Amino acid sequence: MTMHHRLFAILLLAASGGTLAGGAADTLLQTYRDQGAGPFQAETGRTLWTKSFTAKDEPRGCTDCHGTDLTRAGRHRKTGKPIQPMSPAVNPKRLSDPKKIEKWFLRNCKWTLGRECTPQEKGDYLTYLRNPDN
């Protein structure tokens, strides 16, 4: 394979990763709209992302493990395990699988908020993760 073909293959993979991430997030956002949520706001998602909640009598927040810079890796606050960046621009796999997104919403919302996230909260989070600069 020539260098030109390799570069083309890398660009094609990168482009498809972004498309997959957009497609999965778009599908979930529509699901949340069908449940009566919306419109979704990146700024509301950012506020939720940086907010401290109290669960099991201790303060918790998304940034405790994921940090405030979505392009950088985080670290689980209890286990110390590395967490890949949340930004699909840096980590194209991040928002590419609706089942994984829902799994992590369930687990992380219960741990962070002490309850499941509402469809509105999920939509705002996803909108922020996709568009952190808006």
| Domain-wise residue ranges, the chain | 3-130
| CATH architecture type of domain 3-130 | Orthogonal Bundle (1.10)
Residues 19, 25, 27, 30, CA torsion sign = negative
DSSP string, 62-84: HHHHH-S-TTS-EE-TTT--EE-
Over its length of 134 residues, how does the chain's per-residue pLDDT go in tens digits? 444 443 333 333 344 344 445 689 999 999 999 999 999 999 999 999 999 999 889 999 999 999 999 999 999 999 999 999 999 999 999 999 999 999 999 999 999 999 999 999 999 999 999 988 86
pTM of the model: 0.81
